[in-house]
Amino acid sequence: MATLLILFAITLICHSAEPDGVIVTLEKYDGPAVVSVKSLERFKIKISIDRKTDRKALTLAVQLPKTGKNTWPANDVEAIDSSGKAVIVKRGGIAWSMMWIPVPAGQSEIVVHALDPPEGTPKNHPEKERHIKDPLTGLSAKIALWPKGKKAALSLRFDDSHPTHLSKAIPILREYGFKGTFMINPDGKNGPPKNSRWRSAFKEHLTEWQAVAKRRDQEFGNHTARHSGAKNDAEMENEISDACEAIWQLFPAKSKLLALNLGGGTYWETSKTLRHYLDKYHLFDASSGSMGMDDVYGNRVESFRKHVEGHLKSGAWCRAHFHYIGDNLSTSEEHFRAALDIAKKHQDDLWITGMSDIYKYQAERRAATLTLVKSQKDSVTLKLYCPTNPELFDQLLTIEIILPEAWMTSSSGAHVTDADENLIATGLPSKDGSRLLRFPVLPVNSQFIISKFVMKVAF
């Protein structure tokens, strides 16, 4: 413990400082002031400026580690001044770990720290708590990594509610039977006119977007109202809430949980954590870990193939995103179709769906556990614990059972019922001897009884 405390207390003094991988510098500065950083505890640092003769307002540039064992939970981080008040911090829309913190004239101390998740946030359980092996019957059960026996998940994201999403992306996705996630800027026409990306033309095509929403085969995500960033808390709140309201109106009976991407090239100045906005508006951060599919990056189709194949091996969520589809636009139709052909080739192993479907499944599963309640020779009772809010998290989980060998003779099989004795699934002896029984369940606390049954032979 003492060694740890000494390690945490290491202080570096120079123009830049790096305790635990956090890099702190004075932005665009060549004056006499020097900055020092002290690590107070995990994810909490104190930055002090020895101003010497400098009395001006300064800006601290703080880069939080994004990878490795020191990775900070950037979405939970705020900066406070010496009076304990949260200060306005500037960040890039898709680079939340880089912070620019203004320090007013005369002030010299800032604490940067990560806030704990709010009370009642479901905690993730270790993988082994989702697997059961019953020693009496030999039955084993687990919450499947992905639904329907899929090995990995794939989401295809489309940013900026561009008209080619309506004319190209959606009709082509429908040809393939895929669901895309469309990041919309519902008030985009009010954006700065010089940058075409900020002018999403959503309102001009509202009827067409309404028709897409009505068919329910595509998903919409929050790309903020105007794709223009924000200069203060109120502006940021409006940018996020206006886009949420627009989407919730288009999908009245659907869970309010949506993907959020604040947008590349935007800057956001707020005193609050990103988590504050995510929690308040039922959003999840969908800005990172995605492969950009714009042709300008080069060799996209082959890179996409490797991206998908790598995720099929690791079992993880594979993400890719597009801007405008069509010739001489971000992604040519030829390359778009080639990427979809790759996804189609793997569709037996890939769960290709909307980002919120995948996020929900992953979050429900990580918070869930499976336990053995009762075991008898011919029946096993299992309990699913799933604490996520079912109004938001409504994606069915998949349970996989390997039935005991002794239950699967030519004259016997197995069935699954819920606590009210409703039949959920039936397993019959298969020709190839497979004893796998797979069925979907609601993501709520519940019990299942898996029982052997003897088939009635009719004469």
Binding interface with Zn ion (CB under 5 A): 159-160, 263
39 vs 330 by CB, closer to Zn ion: 330
Q: Are 76 and 101 in contact (CB under 8 A)?
A: no
CA 25 – CA 17 distance, rounded (Å): 7
Minimum distance of Zn ion from residue 203's CB (angstroms): 17
Minimum distance of Zn ion from residue 188's CB (angstroms): 10
Minimum distance of Zn ion from residue 159's CB (angstroms): 4
CA 171 – CA 347 distance, rounded (Å): 19
The answer for residues whose C-beta is within 8 angstroms of residue 193's C-beta and 6 or more apart is: 199
Q: Which of 268, 225, 270 lies closest to 94 in space, CA to CA?
A: 268
Place of tokens 């985009």: 188
Minimum distance of Zn ion from residue 262's CB (angstroms): 9
Token pair of 288, please?
């990172």
Minimum distance of Zn ion from residue 89's CB (angstroms): 21
Burial of 200 (0-12, 13-18, 19+ CB in 10 A): buried
Q: Are 159 and 183 in contact (CB under 8 A)?
A: yes
CB environment 155-186: b (16+ within 10 A), e (fewer): bbbbbbbbebbbebbbebbeebebbbbbbbbb
87 vs 225 by CB, closer to Zn ion: 225
Minimum distance of Zn ion from residue 264's CB (angstroms): 6
Minimum distance of Zn ion from residue 223's CB (angstroms): 6
Q: Which of 181, 268, 187, 266 lies closest to 219 in space, CA to CA?
A: 181
